[in-house]
Amino acid sequence: MSAAGGRRPRARHVQTSFHRRGNTIMTERIAIIGGGKIGEALLAGLIRSGKPIKDLVVVEALTERAAELAGDYGVRVTQDVRDAAESAQVVFLAVKPDAVETVLRELARAEDHGETERITVSLVAGIPTQRYEALLPAGAPVVRVMPNTPMLVNEAMSAVSAGRYADTEQIDLTVRLMESVGRVMVVPETQMDAVTAISGSGPAYFFLLVEALTDAGVGLGLTRVQALELASQTLKGAGQLLADSGVSPVDLRAAVTSPAGTTAAALAEFERYGIRHATNEAARAAADAGRQAARRVDVEGSRPGGALVPERSDEPR
């Protein structure tokens, strides 16, 4: 993923045979529509997890990007949404909100060839499952997931919520797939904008902090390479400590903060400049942006011609 510093996980080809896990034959056929940052993160995470998948196909509109993904991961990449969906049991939507409707028009026309009903799993921020249900054939199961880019290294935090027609088995299947690339929390859909503001966008907040800390280190006389390594490993170690210790962040912070010491001096400056207020405002802005995306798509979807039974479009996407 170029946004993740240009380093790619090593390509590994997907297993194509049937596998048994407990009593379940693992036969997932997966399509990922949108091979951008999050689509690639999911693709990489699924491959890296070693999870047996019967078929994995990516739909990517940009020819150059499609070739890049096919080369890097050894998977089938196509530009045909319907073709990919027809061979899939689970279709992940990883396009920007404004491309959702175009994709759904194609998905709505895809026939169901499999023994099991196709599930549409949206990774898209903001857009409620109701919108998908309105555009897909009646009763089509939809699940909404908010993952984050650490999927690339199988350390995602994903939240999952069910649409109206998704049954327990379909939710479980989605949860299992997302568990193969990280941790999963099942939430009511009303919490999805909040989740997006915390964990969906969250990695960017920590990267910003590492950037700022690196710059600060350079200002104090370290080389950029030294400062970046110090800041990155500190983020990783602090995260691991928080996750593994079961100790609250308040107590972990107190353990670093010696009376009248260096940490106390730094934290006082963070507080003076309003880190809590800034974080709160940032999360609110993120949640608002999700709601705005939903409103935008809703308005577009309800315009004349934004019909539920779409005509086939041969326009370039």
Ligand X SMILES: NC(=O)C1=CN([C@@H]2O[C@H](COP(=O)(O)OP(=O)(O)OC[C@H]3O[C@@H](n4cnc5c(N)ncnc54)[C@H](O)[C@@H]3O)[C@@H](O)[C@H]2O)C=CC1
Q: List residues binding ligand X (CB under 6 A).
A: 33-39, 59-62, 65, 81, 94-97, 99, 102-103, 123-125, 146-149, 200, 317
Burial 54-88, CB ≥16 within 10 A → b, else e: bbbbbbbbeeebbebbbebbebbbbeebbbbbbbb
Q: Which is nearer to ligand A1CAB, 87 or 196 (CB)?
A: 196
Both tokens of residue 72?
């890097």
CB of 91 to ligand A1CAB, least distance (A): 19
Instruction: Based on the shown chain and the rule CB under 6 A, indicate whether residue 195 belongs to the binding site for ligand A1CAB.
Output: no
**97: annotated binding-site residue?**
yes
CB of 287 to ligand A1CAB, least distance (A): 11
Residue 103 interacting entry, from ligand A1CAB, ligand X, none, C-beta within 5 to 8 Å by type: ligand X
**Which of 221, 33, 197 has its CA nearest to residue 126?**
197
Residue 33 interacting entry, from ligand X, ligand A1CAB, none, C-beta within 5 to 8 Å by type: ligand X
Instruction: Based on the shown chain and the rule CB under 6 A, indicate whether residue 39 belongs to the binding site for ligand A1CAB.
Output: no
**Which of 288, 290, 284, 285 has its CA nearest to residue 97?**
290
CB of 198 to ligand A1CAB, least distance (A): 10
Q: Which is nearer to ligand A1CAB, 158 or 170 (CB)?
A: 158
Instruction: Based on the shown chain and the rule CB under 6 A, indicate whether residue 158 belongs to the binding site for ligand A1CAB.
Output: no
Three-class SS state of 14: coil
Q: Which is nearer to ligand A1CAB, 175 or 204 (CB)?
A: 204
Helix (H) or strand (E) holding 242: helix 224-245
Cα–Cα distance between 142 and 91 in angstroms, integer?
10
**Which of 118, 121, 119 has its CA nearest to residue 178?**
121
For residue 54, which amino acid is it? K
Options 20-28, 109-117, 196-204, 234-242: segment touching ligand A1CAB (CB under 6 A)? 196-204
Burial of 291 (0-12, 13-18, 19+ CB in 10 A): middle
Beta bridge partners, 162, equal 143
3-state helix, strand, coil in the chain (%, to 5): 55, 15, 35
Q: Which is nearer to ligand X, 95 or 227 (CB)?
A: 95
CB of 148 to ligand A1CAB, least distance (A): 7
**51: annotated binding-site residue?**
no
Instruction: Based on the shown chain and the rule CB under 6 A, indicate whether residue 125 belongs to the binding site for ligand A1CAB.
Output: yes
Instruction: Based on the shown chain and the rule CB under 6 A, indicate whether residue 200 belongs to the binding site for ligand A1CAB.
Output: yes
**90: annotated binding-site residue?**
no
Q: Which of 89, 154, 158, 196 binds ligand A1CAB (CB under 6 A)?
A: 196
Burial 13-49, CB ≥16 within 10 A → b, else e: ebeeeeeeeeeeebebbbbbbbbbebbbbbbbbbbbb
> Which positions ≥6 away from 239 have C-beta within 8 Å?
none
Q: Which is nearer to ligand A1CAB, 35 or 200 (CB)?
A: 200
Q: Which is nearer to ligand X, 69 or 227 (CB)?
A: 69
Going from the C-alpha of 68 to that of each of 60, 64, 101, 131, 268, the distances in angstroms are: 10, 6, 25, 32, 47
**96: annotated binding-site residue?**
yes
CB of 37 to ligand X, least distance (A): 4
Residue pair 45/154 in contact (Cβ under 8 Å)? The answer is yes
Q: Which of 87, 201, 217, 227 binds ligand A1CAB (CB under 6 A)?
A: 201
Which residues line the annotated binding site for NADP(+)? Answer: 94-97
List of residues contacting ligand A1CAB (CB under 6 A): 125, 196, 200-201
